[in-house]
Amino acid sequence: MAAVLASALMLPACRQNTGSETQETADTTTNQPTATMKVTRESLGTLTGNAEVEMYTLRNTSGATVKITNYGAIVTSIQMPDKNGNFGEVVLGFGNVKDYLTNDYLSSGPYFGAVVGRYGNRIAKGRFSLEGQQYTLATNNGPNHLHGGLKGFDKKVWQAQKIQGDTTAKLHLMYRSPDGEEGYPGTLQTSITYTLTDNNELRIEYQATTDKPTIVNLTNHSYFNLAQDSAANVLDHQVTINAGRYVAVDKTLIPTGQLPSVKGTPMDFTTPHAIGERIGKVEGGYDHTWVFDRTGSDGDLFLGARVVAPASGRVMEVLTDQPGVQFYTGNFLNGTFRGHGGRTYVKNYGFCLETQHFPDSPNQPGFPSVVLRPGTSYQTTTVYRFSVQQ
């Protein structure tokens, strides 16, 4: 079934619009659908000490919006229509960027909407070696390193440039991570381009270069709930993941090196299943990496996952060139945070589909490599495409 799904849904990379793009400087904000794409900017001042924190709104001609702050490259809001044409929030997040800076938020570390790196996911005991040299990273998740360390890319202020075209609205974010930052070798010049298209797609392009051999695994940590007006959680969302295997992990969520088949297990999402149907059979809930049946090449993207929310009719498809996806069902959310619309983010209120390489790849010779060397470029693309079905 997975193979059928893969071949039926193999898709070419969405074409980049390069025609008639101009860098826009005027700041205008409107909540109405517009004849053209719009990118607007709002300054929030120097919330983190020195660099200016900003909020950008990308808006397409039908009125769908994506809000992104240059603090952590965080997607704070995505508003998409439901089956009746009503726009509503589909991610978890805060209207006020200050809420991403509180002690409660930082100590619990949900990473709502952020870009995580240099290494998204876990590295066992925060240690790896590369070309004969040992490196030690912070252990910020039990005995392990998680999502780039104590002050990863999710807590950096990125340099932003907005780009507005006729059919796309883009935000380009850049961050230069110095050699040795959080223990990682090499200066990493990183950029993320967020594009909202008129097809209600949020396209995320990641790019990085280094001046010394290093490791990179970037992803976006958005939590989705496609029916926030009516659903108490996402357990009724129907999920398909185009993956016949998953990454087996130990108690600390570090891979054992095995990539077992999903067949006959609660991990089998090769056909649609409600998240809640078998979640009780998975200790702690879903928090694993699925191994896609097909990896992208030459810029081709393929459909990795599809989620349908029956209550709203919203559909989200995830297209990527990455080898895997962390499907995390918000198991550690505990009601501490209230976000958009005053909603309380309880356990399983959102799910993440973090496209990426496998956890602990630097210590797993059998996994695809995450090494980046000088003179080469890390480049990867993921698209979250929204639509509706009745």
Question: Which active-site residues does the annotation give?
Answer: 221, 354
Q: Which stretch binds ligand BGC (CB under 6 A): 23-31, 64-72, 173-181, 326-334?
A: 326-334
Please tell me whether the peptide bond between 343 and the residue prior to it is cis, using omega within 30 degrees of 0: no
**Closest by CA position to 116, among listed 218, 7, 1, 232:** 218
Closest approach, Cβ 175 to ligand BGC, in A, equals 20
Closest approach, Cβ 109 to ligand BGC, in A, equals 5
Report d(CA 93, CA 183) in Å as an integer. Answer: 29
φ, ψ of residue 280 in degrees (nearest 5): -65, -20
**Closest by CA position to 285, among listed 347, 337, 354, 231:** 347
What part of residues 101-140 is at the interface with ligand BGC (CB under 6 A)? Answer: 109-111
C-beta of 81 vs 152, nearer to ligand BGC = 152
Closest approach, Cβ 286 to ligand BGC, in A, equals 9
What part of residues 258-277 is at the interface with ligand BGC (CB under 6 A)? Answer: none
DSSP reduced 3-state for 367: coil
C-beta of 70 vs 326, nearer to ligand BGC = 326
Q: Does 328 bind ligand BGC (CB under 6 A)?
A: yes
φ, ψ of residue 340 in degrees (nearest 5): -50, 135
| DSSP calls for 129-152 | EETTEEEE----BTTBEETTSTT-
Closest approach, Cβ 352 to ligand BGC, in A, equals 6
Q: How many of the chain's residues bind ligand BGC (CB under 6 A)?
A: 9
Report d(CA 182, CA 151) in Å as an integer. Answer: 7
Burial (CB count <10 Å: 0-12, 13-18, 19+), residue 70:
buried
Report d(CA 261, CA 283) in Å as an integer. Answer: 18
C-beta of 56 vs 223, nearer to ligand BGC = 223
What part of residues 337-366 is at the interface with ligand BGC (CB under 6 A)? Answer: 354
Closest approach, Cβ 110 to ligand BGC, in A, equals 5
What part of residues 63-92 is at the interface with ligand BGC (CB under 6 A)? Answer: none
C-beta of 158 vs 328, nearer to ligand BGC = 328
Q: Which stretch binds ligand BGC (CB under 6 A): 34-42, 126-134, 307-315, 324-332?
A: 324-332
Report d(CA 124, CA 362) in Å as an integer. Answer: 9
Q: Does 326 bind ligand BGC (CB under 6 A)?
A: yes
Report d(CA 192, CA 389) in Å as an integer. Answer: 31
Residue 128 is encoded by which pair of tokens? 């790896």
Closest approach, Cβ 29 to ligand BGC, in A, equals 32
C-beta of 110 vs 362, nearer to ligand BGC = 110
Q: What is the radius of gyration, based on Cα positions, of the chain?
A: 20
Report d(CA 21, CA 166) in Å as an integer. Answer: 7
C-beta of 244 vs 324, nearer to ligand BGC = 324
- % helix / strand / coil in the chain, to the nearest 5? 10, 40, 50
Q: Does 248 bind ligand BGC (CB under 6 A)?
A: no
DSSP reduced 3-state for 278: helix
Closest approach, Cβ 197 to ligand BGC, in A, equals 26
C-beta of 253 vs 275, nearer to ligand BGC = 253
Which residue ranges make up the site for ligand BGC (CB under 6 A)?
109-111, 253, 287, 326, 328, 332, 354
